[in-house]
């Protein structure tokens, strides 16, 4: 399909912001010069299967593509800086999306319940925080590469990623939030960096972790490894110095 098959009349653009898409094409080529996609712009659009973002684009707004259930591929957008809350949430057929070094912020739920997403490569991004619920419920997500700039993985960020097998957390990471990897039932191996200071309540609940070691002095939240029956690790610091899996730790001692 050629780019000119998207008529300009399909778009409402004001001050370089794409406010509305009225077309019915399966392939959408957003015009060059657009710098932002407004909140809810494509929300619930059932025809769109492929979107190509212009190189001029910087911002993708809240719920911009939420519940676009036919959307499979997002291309381009090499200069996107920020992706809004729930921007692609519920895009259950989304399989391919790229991230580049210009990406600095992912808001909560940005890709939640993208249940066909298999690979996530953020290694070139400049993100320092994976916000809460960002990739929750991505049931087929198996391969994950995180950026070296990452400092925080927030609450429920990867919860319910049931096909994830391994995760290597970058060297600057300091905080893993409540239920961040909860119910990742196939997760067998996690590599925790020495920089890690805190693992939140139920962070790895319901995982199948077996091989890991805890950094010296890390604080464990309540039931941080609940249900990880085969895990072994040296004793770590917790608020009341009881069970090394965090099962006796006070939840108040691990508040963010």
Report percent pLDDT > 70 for the chain.
Answer: 89
Convert the pLDDT of each residue in 112-164 to its tens digit: 999 999 999 999 999 999 999 999 999 999 999 999 999 999 999 999 999 99
Domains of the chain plus CATH, in order, are 13-117 (3.80.10.10), 123-244 (3.80.10)
Predicted TM-score of the model (pTM)? 0.88
The yes-or-no verdict on residue 85 having pLDDT over 90 is yes
**How many C-beta atoms surround the C-beta of residue 209 within 10 A?**
20
**What is the predicted pLDDT for the residue at 246?**
52
Q: Between these two residues, 225 and 247, which has the higher pLDDT value? A: 225
The yes-or-no verdict on residue 187 having pLDDT over 60 is yes
**What is the predicted pLDDT for the residue at 211?**
73
Burial class (CB in 10 A: 0-12, 13-18, 19+), 24: exposed
**What is the predicted pLDDT for the residue at 235?**
53
pLDDT band at 212 (very low <50, low <70, confident <90, very high): confident
């Amino acid at each position: 399909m050629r780019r000119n098959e998207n008529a300009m009349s399909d778009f409402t653009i004001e001050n370089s912001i794409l406010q509305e898409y009225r077309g019915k094409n399966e392939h959408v080529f957003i015009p060059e010069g657009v710098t932002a996609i407004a909140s809810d712009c494509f929300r619930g659009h059932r025809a769109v299967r492929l979107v190509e973002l212009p190189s001029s684009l910087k911002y993708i707004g809240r719920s911009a593509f939420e519940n676009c259930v036919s959307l499979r591929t997002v291309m381009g957008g090499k200069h996107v800086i920020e992706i809004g809350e729930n921007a692609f949430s519920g895009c259950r057929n989304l399989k391919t999306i790229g991230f580049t070094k210009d990406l600095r912020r992912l808001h909560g739920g940005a890709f939640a319940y993208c249940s066909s997403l298999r690979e996530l490569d953020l290694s070139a991004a400049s993100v320092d925080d994976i916000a809460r619920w960002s990739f929750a419920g991505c049931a087929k997500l198996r391969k994950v590469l995180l950026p070296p700039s990452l400092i925080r993985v927030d609450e429920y960020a990867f919860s319910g990623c049931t096909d994830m097998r391994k995760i290597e957390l970058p060297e600057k990471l300091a905080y893993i939030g409540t239920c961040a990897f909860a119910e990742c039932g196939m997760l067998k191996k996690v590599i925790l960096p020495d920089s890690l200071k805190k693992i939140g309540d139920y962070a790895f609940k319901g995982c199948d972790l077996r091989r890991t070691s805890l950094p010296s002095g890390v604080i464990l939240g309540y039931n941080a490894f609940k249900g990880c029956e085969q895990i072994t690790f040296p004793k770590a610091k917790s608020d009341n110095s009881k069970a090394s899996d965090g099962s006796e730790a006070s939840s108040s001692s691990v508040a963010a």
